[in-house]
Amino acid sequence: MAVERLLVPLSDTVTVRQTVGYAVQSGLESADSLECHLVVAMPYDADVPESEQYSEDANGLLSRARNWVEEDAGDADVTIETAMLGTDEYLFGPRDYAEIFDAYVDEHGIDRVVLDPEYQPGVTAQMLQPLERELERIGVAYDEAPVERSARRGRLAGGTEDFDRLFATFLLSYGFYLVLGDPTYWFDLLTGAAVAGIVAVSLARVTFTVPLDRVQSPLRIVRFTIYIPYLLWEIVKANLAVSAVILRPSMPIEPTLTRVNSRVRSGLPLLALANSITLTPGTLTVRATNQQLLVHTLIPTARDDLFDGGLERAIRFVFYGRDSAAIPSPRERGDAEIVGGDEL
């Protein structure tokens, strides 16, 4: 009896139900029986505080997907396997996801991977196209589910979540405008409100890619105000260290490129970390992809500070709270690698 073995990576998207249905239908059309492997790839390892919540969500998604397969299969001969992948490692980008799927394919004799066109494995941006290229590179057979989905561009405003985005973007834009202008002058107050309104309507969904939490978002603002003096202190220290090196006749600089796998999500947290590193003299973020940073360091002490992860811990405190600041440093995790210069 012919058996079709399918691997279906799951993420909580609007098209995941259709993807599972397509996998069951296409598998039973090409074979007498179906072995359906439903998996969720974990973007965080067990040391990251938000991994517990993500594990709960993943288990719920796997349970729903199992029910969908049973519903679509009816009386057909279908075996269902579920698993969470990447629980003992940290997945950063399409290549990591492709490699972990490849290992699962080899271990279980999978015939085909069925991909959800909206697949988002715990990151903020849709990444199917890079994942497709990585699967092709390593020779994994895949099939994109032909699902029906609404256009990616939705209404700019509608519902509580969109109002929160609009309001938050308006306040940030208005406050920034008044900082640059005169908050006591009526013309600046009026034009600032007009400009902030235009920015909010145009860029609210771009600025905040996920819905805002009415409790956590104000707390993050409070934590950010605590973070600013810390960042200023780090900038002052780095200025003194770089100045001391420049004033020495021997100029003991060691320009080096370093790759750091940070423990922050992509999106706004990664942007904040990358810009904080760049603001600190002696370091420059060259590239930020998913959770991976490529940083140019000018002097050894700047590189040591990067490996110690002080700024990373501070950013995690701002976005995720006090418990997240207790994670090991990049040096302790082994997540920092010199890609240009001497070995660490």
Reply yes or no on whether the pLDDT at 344 is more than 50. no
Whether 9 has a pLDDT exceeding 80, the answer reads: yes
Task: Give the whole-number percent of the chain exceeding pLDDT 70.
Answer: 82
pLDDT tens per residue across span 159-216: 555 777 788 888 888 888 888 888 888 899 999 999 999 988 888 766 665 556 554 6
Residue-level pLDDT at 37: 93
Q: Cα dist. 72→13, 32, 147 in Å?
A: 19, 15, 16
The average pLDDT across 91-113 equals 86
What is the spatial distance between Cα 84 and Cα 59, in angstroms, rounded to a whole number?
Answer: 8
* pLDDT at 151 exceeding the cut of 50: no
The answer, yes or no, to whether residue 300 has pLDDT greater than 50, is: yes
pLDDT at 28 over 70: yes
Tell me, yes or no, if the pTM score tops 0.75: no
Residues 6+ apart with CB under 8 A from 42: 51, 54, 55, 58, 84, 85, 86, 87, 91, 122
Residues 307-334: tens digit of each pLDDT:
888 898 898 888 878 777 777 788 887 7
How does the average pLDDT of the chain come out, rounded?
81
* pLDDT confidence band for 152 (50 / 70 / 90): very low
Cα angle for residues 83, 110, 46 (degrees, 5° grid): 25
Report the DSSP beta bridge partners of residue 296. 257, 284
Convert the pLDDT of each residue in 30-82 to its tens digit. 888 889 999 998 875 555 555 566 778 888 889 999 999 988 888 888 899 99
- What average pLDDT does this structure show over 275-281? 90
pLDDT bin (cut points 50, 70, 90) of residue 11 is confident
pLDDT of res. 161: 56
pLDDT at res. 42: 80
Residue 39's CB: how many other CB atoms inside 10 A? 23
Q: Burial, 162: exposed, middle or buried (Cβ in 10 Å; 0-12, 13-18, 19+)?
A: middle
Burial (CB count within 10 angstroms: exposed 0-12, middle 13-18, buried 19+), residue 7:
buried
Across 272-309, b (16+ Cβ under 10 Å) vs e yields bbbebbebbbbbbbeebebbbbbbbbbbbbbbebbbeb
